[in-house]
Amino acid sequence: MSRIIFLFALSFFSIQSFSQKKQKEKVEPASYFPSREEWQRQSLSSHGFDSIKLYKAIQFAIEHESKQPRSMELSQAMTFGKEPFGDAVGPLADRGEPTGLIIHHGYIIAEWGEPGRVDMTHSVTKSFLSTVIGLAVDEKLIRSVQDTVANYVGPIEPYDPTVINRTAEQFGRPELLKPFATPHNRTLTWDVMLRQTSDWEGTLWGKPDWADRPDADASKWMRNKRNVAGSVWEYNDVRVNALALAATCVWRRPLPEVLKNYIMDPIGASPTWRWFGYRNSWIILDGKIVQSVSGGGHWGGGMFINAYDLARFGLLTLHKGNWNGKQLLSSAWFDEARTPTNAQPTYGYMNYFLNTDRKYYPNAPANAYAHIGNGTNVIYVDPDHDLVMVVRWIESASMNEMIGMVLGAFK
């Protein structure tokens, strides 16, 4: 109980301290973008928020902390670890307390918990993955998302320093990965991979596609018939990792390096974020040993990042790739990323969860969207209110109510 009271007090102190700072009482009409060195804070009153109502919204987020243990190792074992081949093969790290930020017109108006703490962000990682694919389209490395992925991916040599001489048991087994070589996988486009409607088949990094969130009926696990690409939406991290491997082949560089150079450095992100893969997801690429990163923390790994850097990314997506007058990623890409998927209208490109017909978040405007990862980690983006919220370690079912409370705090 004392810890909860302390968190409430910390949240209240954070909000009150902002209102006491000497700040401009009027927001400039031009959009504000924080510099690398400083992120300005402004008072709630100057942004039209009722401080008591907003405090209650933050208090609500803290009270409705995820019921999963803060030990990510234990949490993974209790959930995904129960799946076939479900053992973690990437790094896991204990998480912190509920934390978050509220950004209005680009300014920080409220924060709570430990927003500077680097934690796993799970499937929000997928939004960074789709971003580096968007960059590849901008750079003409991918001509069109309607192209088949197979035409961009050559044979891949896995790196395993323990294997030098192949044993007799390994004789005749393929030595190279060809993740898009089956008759079905050869038909898959970048678009269906991004929308999670590919039904990609195969095993990658020791994880079969059917073992991720497997059907309750085990007889359906290793099926021969595949769904026509684009017809069925299925959230599947093996397929996401296949997309990450394909993107690595296209860039011929580690994806974290691409993200850093093109996005994270220009938006002023801290040097503390890390994008991990698995201990067995190393390949030899153009004579160099490169790790193919994962699209989340399902088996460990993914993006480890603090709330401030997540908020900067959310602000970039709010402005459709424009950061302080410089277009880092084409606005057309963000329009496409937020186009509903036919088989799942509340999903765009990974990992844009859309509020189509206000079905996902009834309390939010229909054009709001969120980057979401297990935990729950949320970057909520609301163009109508020029608002970005980062909310970490909240119960998923409580997020809609919190959004309603924050929007209700507008005077």
169 and 84 part of one domain: no
What is the mean predicted confidence (pLDDT) over 298-326? 98
Per-residue model confidence as pLDDT tens digits over 28-41: 446 899 999 999 99
Residue 170 has what pLDDT? 79
What is the mean predicted confidence (pLDDT) over 267-279? 98
- Taking a C-beta distance cutoff of 8 angstroms, is the pair 255, 275 a contact? yes
What SS3 state is found at 124? helix
Residue 9 has what pLDDT? 36
What is the mean predicted confidence (pLDDT) over 303-328? 98
Instruction: Specify the higher pLDDT residue, 5 or 343.
Output: 343
First-to-last CA distance in the chain? Answer: 32
Total Cβ atoms within 10 A of residue 331: 12
246 and 166 part of one domain: yes
Residue 191 has what pLDDT? 98
What is the mean predicted confidence (pLDDT) over 76-87? 94
Total Cβ atoms within 10 A of residue 318: 21
286 and 187 part of one domain: yes
111 and 33 part of one domain: yes
Whether the CA torsion 20, 21, 26, 30 is positive or negative: it is negative
281 and 137 part of one domain: yes
Q: At what angle do helices 51-63 and 2-20 cross, to 10 degrees?
A: 150
**Total number of domains constituting the chain:** 2
Share of the chain above pLDDT 70, in %: 93
Q: Which residue is it, tokens 């690595």?
A: 248
Print the domain residue range for 73: 2-122+298-407
Q: Supply the DSSP symbol for 212.
A: S
Instruction: Specify the higher pLDDT residue, 269 or 219.
Output: 269
Per-residue model confidence as pLDDT tens digits over 179-231: 999 999 999 999 999 999 999 999 999 999 999 999 888 888 887 789 999 99
Q: Which residue is it, tokens 């409705």?
A: 64
DSSP letter for each residue of 387-404: EEEEEESB-GGGHHHHHH
Q: Give the predicted TM-score (pTM) of the model.
A: 0.92
* Stated length of the chain: 411
Say if 32 falls within a structural domain.
yes
The Cα 9–Cα 54 span in angstroms is 14
Q: Supply the DSSP symbol for 380.
A: E
Residue 30 has what pLDDT? 66
Residue 319 has what pLDDT? 98
Say if 358 falls within a structural domain.
yes
236 and 320 part of one domain: no
68 and 139 part of one domain: no
- Mean pLDDT score of the chain, rounded to an integer? 92
Considering 265, 293, 321, which residue would you say is the last residue of a domain?
Answer: 293
Instruction: Specify the higher pLDDT residue, 402 or 216.
Output: 402
217: Cα separation from own chain's centroid: 30
374 and 351 part of one domain: yes
- DSSP 3-state percent helix, strand, coil across the chain (nearest 5): 35, 20, 45
Say if 260 falls within a structural domain.
no
The Cα 177–Cα 244 span in angstroms is 14
Say if 265 falls within a structural domain.
no
243 and 142 part of one domain: yes
154 and 288 part of one domain: yes
Residue 171, pLDDT above cutoff 70: yes
Per-residue model confidence as pLDDT tens digits over 16-73: 443 334 343 343 446 899 999 999 999 999 999 999 999 999 999 999 999 999 999 9
- Taking a C-beta distance cutoff of 8 angstroms, is the pair 368, 355 a contact? yes
